Structure 1
Amino acid sequence: MLIIVMGVSGSGKSTIAKLLADKTGLDYYDADDFHPQSNIDKMKGGKALNDTDRKPWLLLLAKKLYEWEQQKGAILACSALKESYRELLSSQSKKIKWVYLTGTFETIKNRIESRKGHFMDTHLLQSQFDTLEPPTYGVHVAIDQTPQQITTQILSRIQKNLKC
């Protein structure tokens, strides 16, 4: 099984993906770890990535997803903000379960402001919300719950979908 936990920066993707990995026994990966240094430098410099910046990164992730699918599966935390990005990510793997973490701009802004050592700056958050194309599929979960509640809700809904 492949699960991609998506949403804007600060929505809790990494936290929830790690908890899902712990509960399922699948390996956890963070898409940010696969960014080329040029993308990281651009974001650290306060500039939003464009589609040209993202495409090689997304194609690499699609390849990795295929490899993980051939093994035991994986949980990936990835923003996947646009439908075209999700299409690239799923271009080699058709068994992806999508989890979309939803929250208000203010809630997420407050989370980002309290983080230390992350390359995402709060002024880039608006560009993420502007870019976001919420999926019409997958599991949608509001982030105004505890991480444990969110994880339990996700697993319950994924299990329910697997039985259908």
Structure 2
Amino acid sequence: MRCFGDDHPDYAAYHDHEWGVPVRDERGLYERLCLEAFQSGLSWLVILRKRENFRRAFAGFDPEIVARYDERDVQRLLADAGIVRNRAKIEAAIANARATLDLRDGPQPLPELIWSHAPARRPTPPVTWAEVPAITPESTALAKALKRAGFRFLGPTTVYAGMQACGLVNDHLRDCPTRTG
């Protein structure tokens, strides 16, 4: 059995083909951070079902385009029933696009910043979900670094979920058929 996803085909596909697969490109990382922020307080299944709508609404998560969104775009997004209509999360996605662009001119672009916080590999895989943390020192440090860079709505728990999703950590349970290494 998978460590999650056996109860729903969307979850199963996400588990088998995306969760934990390394993401190293700027747009992919920006998208995952946005989706993790939108998921906060909601079921991940809600986000999976709306993901294509999010991609359409946020210009394929192109940070250069999203960074130019203004109040008219916020109003348009608040009226879009295909996405999660939360002003704080929408404004965070726009601010995070601007922060992503700002990082390009700094010492560490977004991919380098995120991957510089990848923890050491665990010596043994987790056997149960009770062994998988919600927050780690690395996710706390990365959340602080992102906040200093101007990112919003990304605390240590949300950042850790992003680290899992983007393959910085391998939290597939020991007996999961998708687990490698």
TM-score by length of 2: 0.27
Q: Which of the two has higher C-alpha Rg?
A: 2
- Identify the structure with the greater strand proportion: 1
TM-score by length of 1: 0.29
Structure number with the bigger relative contact order (C-alpha 8 A, sep ≥ 6) is 1
